[in-house]
Amino acid sequence: MEFFPLVLIIFASVFQGSFGLGMKYMAPLKWEAWWLVHVTIAMIILPLAWAYIAVPNLSEVLNTSFSDPSMQSVVFMAMFFGFLWGIGGILFGISVPYIGLSLTMGIVMGLAGSIGALVPLLQMENATSSPQFPYVIAGLAITLIGVGITAKAGIDKDKLKTESTNEKSNILKGILIATACGVLSALLNVGFVKATPIAKLAEEMGAIDRNASLAAWVIVLIGAFIMNAGYCFFLLFKNNTWSSFNVAGTSKAYKWAILASIFWFGALGVYGQGAALIGPIGGVIGWPMLLGLSLIVSNFWAYRAGEWTEAKKPFNLLLIGLFVLILASVILGYSNSII
């Protein structure tokens, strides 16, 4: 793999692993109010703003994508997978209070990275006969092993916590929610790969290859936004929490919502550029690398936040899991050099 695309994916992983920090600072906003602010900025404002700056004739690209009968099926599928991912995004927000940021990120990132790479790989022509195939499969398998180890570390940590505080454990419920989230979250990358013709169209209209991916993200994230915003509005009406937007002391929560949005779409935008530079297999190799490496970043923040305090043995197990994930990323990176 060339060095620059690798740097972009590592850089994106720092953003991806850091955005969850904002969820620790929602109060006094209600979840649905904070999340609506976050997704509006992350899925609509930032993608459009960046794409308008970096993609010439973006309006024409979008108009053609929606109006050209040959492109409409591409748009529909990209938005559909984005919509399904949106369900996973909501489940992510639900699972963190149950099992903490470390374990949630471990399960979600591992499953999303593996499935999100495997589906596009198997849809490629002659994928199984490619010399890269065994390395990619090995990398994905090792990724799942790393996720399993980190999940075990989280379970052990939770046991220590419940034994010392006599609190009721929600570990099983949280793991089930996070697992469903991981499977659905994989579909964001599937949608991105499905939207490749939109990126190609942007290239034909003057965008450089790595920036053309931003046009694809705009389409995918429209579907994601519809799901997320729709659920937020449902909760705002159901719980009658509209007043949450005006509660005193919300400035810090708004700042974190904005910062989390920048981190979240910054990760996707930079990842898209790195994947584009890798080539046709970029969405297969880059995605699990992004999520595997971001898991290391998220656990660094979780450690700083005290999630692993007085849990030395589980933390040592976590470190083993993170090492395995780094090994998986190295193998996936090496696979792109195989001809």
Q: What is the pLDDT of residue 164?
A: 63
The pLDDT tens digits of the residues spanning 6-25 come to: 788 888 888 887 877 777 78
Residue corresponding to tokens 């656990």: 299
C-beta of residue 286 within 8 angstroms of C-beta of residue 9 = yes
**pLDDT 10s digits, 95-117:** 877 777 667 777 787 778 777 77
DSSP 8-state symbol, 280: T
d(CA 114, CA 50): 28
Q: DSSP state, 167?
A: P
| Alpha-carbon span 142 to 334, nearest angstrom | 14
What span, in angstroms and rounded, lies between the C-alpha atoms of 315 and 276? 36
CA distance 154 to 301: 15
Cis peptide before 28 (omega within 30 of 0): yes
H helix intervals, 21-68:
31-40, 46-54, 58-67
Give the number of other CB atoms < 10 A from CB of residue 313: 11
- Residues contacting residue 330 through CB under 8 Å, at least 6 positions apart: none
If we measure between CA atoms, which residue out of 112, 108, 115 comes closest to residue 93? 108
Secondary structure E strands in 177-251: none
What's the rounded Cα separation, in Å, for the pair 156 and 338?
A: 39
Q: Is the pTM of this model over 0.85?
A: no
Burial of 71 (0-12, 13-18, 19+ CB in 10 A): middle
Residue 330 amino acid letter:
V
| Residue 160 structure tokens | 């220590």
Cα angle 18, 21, 24 (rounded to 5 degrees) comes to 170
Quote the tokens at residue 339.
């001809």
SS3 310: coil
Residues 258-284, mean pLDDT to the nearest whole number:
82
> CB of 332 within 8 A of CB of 144?
no
pLDDT of 27 over the 80 cut: yes
The residue ranges of every structural domain in the chain are 3-335
> Which residue type sits at 164?
S
The pair of structure tokens assigned to 272 is 């898209």
How would residue 233 be classed by pLDDT, with cut points 50, 70 and 90? very high
Cα gap 97→20, rounded to integer Å: 12
Buried b (16+ CB within 10 A) or exposed e, 152-174: bbbbbbbeebeeeeeeeeebeeb
Q: What is the band of 55 on the pLDDT scale with cuts at 50, 70, 90? A: very high
Q: State mean pLDDT over 224-244.
A: 93
Asked whether 297 and 14 are in contact (CB, 8 A), the reply is: yes
> In which band, very low, low, confident or very high, does the pLDDT at 74 lie, cut at 50, 70 and 90?
very high
Which of the two residues, 291 and 142, has the higher pLDDT score? 142
Q: What percent of the chain has pLDDT over 70?
A: 93
- Residue 248, φ and ψ in degrees, nearest 5: -65, 145
Please name which of 101, 103, 85 lies closest in space to residue 39, comparing C-alpha atoms.
85
